[in-house]
Amino acid sequence: MKLILFGPPGAGKGTQAKKISSHYSIPHLSTGNIFRYNIKNETELGKKVKSILDAGELVPDETVVDLVVDELQKDKYSNGYILDGFPRTIPQSVALDKYLDSQDTGIDLFLTLAVPQEELINRILSRGEGRSDDTPEKIKTRLEVYYNETEPVLNYYKKQEIVEKVDGMGSIKDIFSRLQTVLDRL
């Protein structure tokens, strides 16, 4: 199964994507994790994107799309995957569709985690992962970017009738079991 896990920063995408990945035995592809890994290891890509992540802005579409398309060609993704943090703009969504079309395949389900804004800020501030973009000012930028550039992606996928909205409030376990209910219908 090919899945997209969508939602604002702090919605719990990373946590739930990891659980889905292990329960359904599909690899988890997180663009944010890939960027952070490259920054930590001071690769060329890391050097290119560091100031962008630090500012809470978006990495250019072309860079992200090239990265994801390269990654998806690896054997481990041949039986499905869960995308987390991608696509995050309309051009990224169009590019992903174009790539999947060329492979005669498509996304099975677009799961969106619904969490109120006040809760998002609290969660990010209390998760204590030490991320350089987890400060109140950067969170404000990330949420603005989300509402302006990323939320339209939801409407784009609604046209494909693969969107399922899941309540992202409650315990990690409760949220996962809501996701499972939807996924087990596939």
Q: Which residues bind ligand ADP (CB under 6 A)?
A: 9-10, 13, 31-32, 35, 52-53, 56-59, 64, 85-86, 88, 92, 133, 142
Q: How far is the CB of 170 from ligand ADP (least distance, A)?
A: 19
Q: Which residues contact 55 (CB under 8 A, 6 or more apart)?
A: 133, 138, 141
Q: Do 76 and 29 meet the contact criterion of CB atoms below 8 Å apart?
A: no
Say which amino acid occupies 28.
H
186 vs 181: CA distance, rounded Å: 10
Q: How far is the CB of 185 from ligand ADP (least distance, A)?
A: 26
Nearer to ligand ADP, 39 or 109 (CB): 39
Cα separation values, 44 from 41, 85, 132, 155, Å: 9, 21, 19, 34
Nearer to ligand ADP, 38 or 178 (CB): 38
Q: How far is the CB of 15 from ligand ADP (least distance, A)?
A: 11
Q: How far is the CB of 32 from ligand ADP (least distance, A)?
A: 2
Nearer to ligand ADP, 30 or 178 (CB): 30
Burial 116-126 (b: 16+ CB within 10 A, else e): eeeebbebbee
Nearer to ligand ADP, 98 or 186 (CB): 98
How crowded is residue 178: how many other Cβ atoms within 10 Å of its Cβ? 19
User: Nearest residue to ligand ADP, using CB?
Assistant: 32
